[in-house]
Chain A
Amino acid sequence: MRFEGTLDIAAPRDRVWSFLTDPKQVTTCAPDVQSLDVTDPRHFKVVVRAGVGPIKGTFSMNVEFTDLQEPDHASVVARGQAPGSAVEMRSEMDLTAIDGTRTTMKWSSDVTVSGMIQQVGARLMQGAADKITQQVFSCMKEKLEAPVTA
C-alpha cells in the first residue's frame, strides 16, 4: 500500500528538519510509544501499540534513516513485528521552504503488512492508516508551530 500527501507547517525548514530527523523528538508524535532505544543518530528502536479495528498489537519497530540530505530530503525504513503480524514501511520526505517561517513537507510511504493484521484487517487498513497519519501530523504541527521556548 502506498500513502502520500503534503503538509504545510508554519515553522522554518531547519526547525522542521531537526525535529523530524531526531529520534527523540519525532517519536513523541508516534502513536502510543512504549519505549525508545536510540542506537546511533541513524538507528533507533521504538515500541508502539497500534492496531487496525479489533486487531491490536505491540509493534517493535527497528527504524533506520537510510538517506539524510540536510536540509530537504530523508529516507526512512522501519521494520517491525507484532505477534502473528509484520510491517515494513519505506518512507520518503522532501521539505521545501516557502519562506523563512513556513515549510511544505511532501511525503510518501510504502507499507507492506503481513500476517493477521493484513488478513483480518485489510478492509479497515485505509481508514486506520488515515487516522494514524492525521494524529501524527496534527501532533507535529502542534509541536512545530508552538512558540519556541528557551
Chain B
Amino acid sequence: MATEIGGIGVSVKRKEDARFIRGRGNYVDDVKLPGMLYMDIARSPYAHARIKSIDTSKALAIPGVLAVITGKDLVPLKLEWMPTLMSDKQMVLPTDTVLYQAQEVAAVVATERYIAADGVAAIEVDYEPLPVVVDPIKALLPGATIVREDRAQKNNLIWHWEVGDKAGTDKAFADAEVVVKQDIYIPRIHVASIETCGMVASFDKINGKLTVWMTTQAPHAIRTVIALVAGHLGLSEERIRVISPDIGGGFGGKVPVYPGYVLAIGASVLTGHPVKWIEDRSENIQADSFARDYHITAELAAKKDGTMQALRVKTIADHGAFDAAANPSKFPAGLFHVVTGSYPFEKSFVEVDGAYTNKPPGGIAYRCSFRVTEAAFTIERLVDVLALELKKDPAELRMQNFIPPEAFPYKSVLGWEYDSGNYGRALKLAMDKIGYAELRKEQAAKRAKGELMGIGISSFTEIVGAGPSKHFDILGIKMFDSAEIRVHPTGKAMVRLGVKSQGQGHETTFAQIVAEELGLPVGDIAVEEGDTDTAPYGLGTYASRSTPVAGAATALAARKIREKAKLIAAHLLEANPDDIEWKDYKFQVKGVPTKSKTMQEIAFAAYTNHPQGMEPGLEAVDYYDPPNLTYPFGSYICVVDIDKGTGEVKIRRFVAVDDCGTIINPMIVEGQIHGGLTMGLAPALYEQINYDDDGNIQGGNFMDYLLPTAMETPNWELGKTVTPSPHHPIGAKGVGESATVGAPAAIANAVVDALAHLGVRHIDIPITPWKVQKILKDNGVAE
C-alpha cells in the first residue's frame, strides 16, 4: 500500500527531474523582465591597498552605461557597510581601503551585459598597496599588519571561544599512559556550485514593492536581512518579496548575503529598472564565502590498552577580512565541539581563535552542519594516529572505544545529547562488505613485495537539524522551520515550506511524508518552496536541517489535518470519533473495514458537508521547534593503491555504510550519498585555494581548482543501517551531508596506512601526487 501511494520508504522518482532533465528548470539567469538592466562589478587586484581615487568618467562615457556606483555613493544611504550573520560587519563597497583580492570596488549598470563589463574595464582606480597578511597564525602575532583598522580592537583576533573542562583535561593528559599529538591543516576550499550566485532585483517605484529573484538557500532570512539593512530607506518587510527559483547547488555558499545582492537592489532602486547581476565563475570562486581553513592541533590521551580518555584541541580559524560565516549566533566555531565523535571521552577541552587575514571573508559550512567536517576529520585522523602509536588495528581500536548502543541517549562530555546510535553495527557491516580481514592479509603480502596499498576507516558521528530554539538562532531568529498544508476539495494537496531545495529533491520527499500521513497519492501532492509571499516563515535549507526540522513540521501539520479529518469521518460514517481508526491509509469504524472513508472523500466533505459547528476547510500549519539535534552516523572504509612512480593515489574500493534513521526515499538518499562522497573525495585529494604572500589567489579558476568529475570519481559501494531518531516524528535524521563529513578522513587514513611502514603518520589534505611522491623519494622507494 505504501508503494502504491508513494509513502515513506519508497523510491519514488523525483518529481523535479521532469523539468531538469529536459533543460526546463527556471534559474535566476532565466528570469528576464522588460526593461531589465545588467550589473557588473569592478574588483580589487590587490589584497590590501588604500584607494587614492576612483575615476569613473571613462566608464560613464561608454554609450549604454547608465550608472557607476562606488563606496562614496553609498555613504549618504548608510549602505557602505552591512551586517554579517556573525555579529561582524562587511563592506558593501570600500570607501578608502580594500582588504582582499577580488573585493568589490565599484558596480556598473548598463543596458547590456557586455557593456557593463566594458564599463568595469574602463574604471580607473589609483591604489596604494599596503602590507598583506595571509597566514592566520602570523596574523595573531604581535606587530602583525592590522586587517581591520575600522575596529577599536587593534589586533586580528576576532574572538576566542572555548568549551570543556580545561583543568580536568590537562590533568588527564598529565596522568595519561599514552598521549598522541597531531597538527592538522584543513585547507580553504570552495563549494563551487555549478550555478554561480546572482539576482534579479525589481523595484516598483509606484507602490514601493521590491521583488528579488535570487540564489538563496534561506529566502525568508534574506527578506528579513534586507528589511534590517535597508529599512531606513523605506524598504519595509511587507513590501519585500524574495523568490528563490530553481537553484543549481548551494552547499552553504548561498546562505550569506553578498555585496552584489545589495548593489543589485540599490541599482534597481536607483534606476527604477529591474537589474540583473550574475557572477562569473572566477568571481564566484575568488570572492564568495570559502569553507574550512582550520589550523588544528589535536591531542588524545589514552591508556596503554587503547582506552581513549581525554581529547584536547586548539584551533586557529582563518575567517578572512570579515567574519562572514553562517553559524548560529551562539557558536562562532559552529558545532566543532562534536569533535569527540563516536567515542566516550571522560575529559575534553576545545578552544578556537578566529583570525582576520587579507583574504575573502567566510567560514561557511560546505555541505556540513557548521564545522562538523573539520571535527569529524580531526577525531577520525587522530584515532588512526593513536592506532599507529599503539600498533593496534584501527578497526579494533574503534570497536573497543565506541559509545555502546545501550548508552543512548548519550550525553557527550562537551554537552551534546546524542539521540541514538549503533556505531559498532555500522562498522561491522562496512568491514563485512569490503572483506576487511582479507584486505589486511593482502596488504601484508603486498608490503612484503614493496607494493603500496592502504586501508582507511572513518566512523563519524554527525550533528544536524539545528535546532532547538533555546540554543540556535541566526541574527536572533530562532532556528525553527515550518510547513503549511492545504488539502483541496478534490483531494489534492499543496504543501508549502520554509526551507528551500537546491537539488535535494524536496518536491518528492516532502510529498512522500504527506502521502504517508494522509494516505493521498504522492502524485497528487504539490510542494512549493522559495517564495516568501506564499511560503510560511522558515530559516532555510543548510546543515542537513530540512528533513529533521521542516520534515517534522510537515508530518505534524499533516497529523493536525488527520485529527480534523477523523472528526469529519465520524460525521460521515455516523459514528463516535472514538470508534474511528486510521488503518490502511483511510478511516474506518473500528473492526468494520467496509465502513470507511478515504482522505479524498473527507476532503470533499470538508468543503461541502462539514459538521455543523466545525470550521470548514482542511488545512494546517506547523512551526516546529525541535527538542534536540539529530545525530546521523556511518562507517566508511576506503582502499587505496599508490603509484610509486607518480605518487598518484588510486581509490580501489570505497564502502560507505550510512545510518540516517528512517529513510523516506532510498533512491534520493543514495543519490545524496553519492554526491556527498564525491564532495568528500574533492578536498581529500584535489581541492585547495591557496594564496601567495601578496594575497594573490592560487586556484581562483577551474584550471587551478580541480573539481572531481566522473574521471576522478571511483565506484561508491553503499550500505545502510537504520537507527531511527527517537525524538523526530518520523524518526528521520538527515543525510545530505554525512558523506562529505565522513569521507575525507577515510581517504586520508587509507593513504597514511599505505605509507605507515615508512614512518608516515599524517599528510595534510589535499593529498596530491606531488606530496606523496616527495614522501616516496625521501624514503627511497619512488620508482
A residues whose Cβ falls under 8 Å from a Cβ of B: 60, 81, 83-86, 88, 112-116, 118-120, 122
Contact = CB atoms under 8 A, between A and B. Distances in A.
Instruction: State the 7 A-B residue pairs at the shortest beta-carbon distance, nearest first.
Output: A115-B45, A83-B121, A86-B45, A114-B45, A118-B696, A119-B700, A85-B45
A119 B697 contact: yes
Nearest to B704: A119
Given A114-B101, A115-B45, A116-B45, A86 B696 contact: no
Given A81-B127, A83-B120, A120 B46 contact: no
B125 A81 contact: yes
Nearest to A86: B45
B276 to A, nearest CB: 21
Contacts of A120: 701, 703
B694 A114 contact: yes
Contact of A115 (B46, B126, B698, B704): B46
B645 interface: no
Interface in B101-138: 101, 120-127, 129
Nearest to B123: A83
B43 A119 contact: no
B479 interface: no
Interface string B689-728: 0000011111011011000000000000000000000000
B46 A114 contact: yes
Contacts of A81: 45, 124-127
B701 A119 contact: yes
A84 B40 CA distance: 13
A84 B45 contact: yes
Interface string B22-61: 0000000000000000000011111100000000000000
Contacts of B44: 115
Contacts, number: 50
- Chain A interface, >50% SS class: strand
Nearest to B122: A83
30 contacts: A60-B124, A81-B45, A81-B124, A81-B127, A83-B120, A83-B122, A83-B123, A84-B121, A85-B45, A86-B45, A86-B127, A86-B129, A88-B129, A113-B696, A114-B46, A114-B129, A115-B44, A115-B45, A115-B46, A115-B101, A116-B45, A116-B282, A118-B696, A119-B282, A119-B286, A119-B697, A119-B700, A119-B704, A120-B701, A122-B698
Nearest to B696: A118
Contacts of B121: 83-84
Interface string B492-516: 0000000000000000000000000
Nearest to B44: A115
Contacts of B704: 119
Given A81-B125, A83-B120, 18 more contacts: A83-B121, A83-B122, A84-B45, A85-B45, A86-B45, A112-B694, A114-B45, A114-B46, A114-B101, A114-B694, A114-B696, A115-B45, A115-B46, A115-B101, A118-B696, A119-B282, A119-B286, A119-B696
Kindly name the residue among A83, A114, A118 whose own CB sees the greatest number of chain B CB atoms within 10 A.
Answer: A114
Nearest to B125: A81
Nearest to A117: B45
A114 B127 CA distance: 12
A84 B700 CA distance: 13
B696 A84 contact: no
Contacts of A119: 282, 286, 696-698, 700-701, 704
Contacts of A113: 696
